[in-house]
Amino acid sequence: MLSFESDYTTGAHPRILERLMETNLEPVTGYGTDRFCESAREKIRKACGCDKAQVEFIVGGTQTNMVVISTMLRDFEGVVAAQTGHVAAHEAGAIEHAGSKVLTIPQTEGKIDAGVLSGFIEDFYADDNHEHMVFPGMVYISHPTEYGTLYTKAELMKLSAVCRRYEIPLFLDGARLGYGLMSRDTDVTLPDIAKYCDVFYIGGTKVGALCGEAVVFTHNNEPPHFVNAIKKRGALLAKGRLLGVQFDTLFTDDLYFEISRHAIDMTEKLKEILQQKGLPFFLNSPTNQQFVVVENRKMKQLAEKVRFGFWEKKDDHHTVIRFAASWSTTEEDLAQLKSILDEIYPDAVPEAAPEVTPAQNTPAPGIWPGTSGQKVPAESTAGNGNQSDALEKWVRG
């Protein structure tokens, strides 16, 4: 079945598979000490413009978040994150399971604001009882966020300033970093991220690798015995070469950036198709994840022909769904999607292009950003308020 469900539904970029084959029978040392990991580390340092960066490889995103957060926080601290942040909402309590609380704060389109963050920390220290509370010990942001949105350089700088004022690290989850860096609507580069964050990771799993995330500590701040800590958490891959070869390939000849740019080019076409079919955008995402609001009965029809992600219930008759393009999306995939939508929406009136919504602008309830303030229409026919049974097997990631 046609799939726009996520960016990890296909395997790996062919150049990675070729390189794995070429190097397959060469015996190397284990646990990330091999020459492929070393070479990948060097290339990542160069791409980040950060000679002294310490780089380690971990298999998946949740594992990386758990390892980084639990090794950087002290016993009395928790991690501050947006209410919608992956660590808060979609990691099944992995952070708490590792012993640290996630301290959630309000968000706008998946982002946290430096003013809100600093207010939260000020209020914490102003509370006479704070010795009985969990200290804010680190800040977690995702870029792109879970809604595909991006921080601007100015926003990153402000968040970084708050963290430095309180001497707590800023951690950026870059599970989809490539798509953020190659967005047509960003002023943030990889060296900027290395400059403003204390630790971040470059996502491979969702950007052309079979699996793997590269964690980067930007100023000699890798926790002591970090490899030991990864091992203790069951996250140290014996055949570290699998991650080394993949990241070495992704950071050779700019492959990581090239395939991310391809995904963005495909997304621009995807957006045009969705817009032509009159599907209102839930928000303006400048990256590979696009969120549209669909009537539940149309959603059921769609689900028979194409896989997409269920995001959230909009109202009793509408659902927000996600279409994600990726490094492997093709023109044929888009043509197929278009013909499916042509069938389901034969009389569509094109939707206005999504407006760029300012970072601090929370949409009023019942209004879809990008639709000129259009109210959610009541569905006239027999839409039942329940999600389709099919939704239950849909994933969020």
Angstrom distance (rounded) from CA 186 to CA 176 = 14
The closest residue (CB) to ligand PLP is 61
Q: Is there binding between residue 205 and ligand PLP (CB under 6 A)?
A: yes
In this structure, the number of other CB atoms found within 10 A of the CB of residue 42 comes to 14
Binding residue for ligand PLP, selected from 13, 19, 86, 317, defined by CB under 6 A: 86
| Total residues binding ligand PLP (CB under 6 A) | 10
Over the Cα atoms of the chain, what is R_g?
A: 21
Angstrom distance (rounded) from CA 243 to CA 212 = 6
C-alpha distances in Å from residue 19, one per residue of 15, 16, 57, 135, 287? 6, 5, 18, 46, 28
Binding residue for ligand PLP, selected from 9, 15, 31, 60, defined by CB under 6 A: 60
Q: Is there binding between residue 223 and ligand PLP (CB under 6 A)?
A: no
Which of 135, 247 has the CB closer to ligand PLP? 247
Site for ligand PLP in 154-173 (CB under 6 A): 173
Which of 60, 278 has the CB closer to ligand PLP? 60
- Only one of the segments 54-62, 128-136, 245-253, 337-345 lies at the binding site for ligand PLP (rule: CB under 6 A); that segment is 54-62
Q: Is there binding between residue 289 and ligand PLP (CB under 6 A)?
A: no
- Only one of the segments 56-64, 246-254, 267-275, 352-360 lies at the binding site for ligand PLP (rule: CB under 6 A); that segment is 56-64
Contacts of residue 362, defined as CB under 8 A and 6 or more positions apart, other chains included, come to 108, 109
Angle in degrees, 0-180, between the axes of helices 255-276 and 241-250, rounded to the nearest 10: 70
Q: What are the phi and psi torsion angles at 225 (to 5°)?
A: 55, 45
Q: Is there binding between residue 326 and ligand PLP (CB under 6 A)?
A: no
Which of 61, 370 has the CB closer to ligand PLP? 61
Q: Is there binding between residue 142 and ligand PLP (CB under 6 A)?
A: yes
Angstrom distance (rounded) from CA 33 to CA 238 = 10
- Only one of the segments 60-68, 153-161, 214-222, 343-351 lies at the binding site for ligand PLP (rule: CB under 6 A); that segment is 60-68
Q: Is there binding between residue 370 and ligand PLP (CB under 6 A)?
A: no
Q: Is there binding between residue 61 and ligand PLP (CB under 6 A)?
A: yes
Q: Let me know if 115 is exposed, middle or buried by CB neighbors in 10 A (0-12, 13-18, 19+).
A: exposed
DSSP letter (8 states) at residue 390:
G
Q: Which residues bind ligand PLP (CB under 6 A)?
A: 60-62, 86, 142, 146, 173, 175, 205, 397
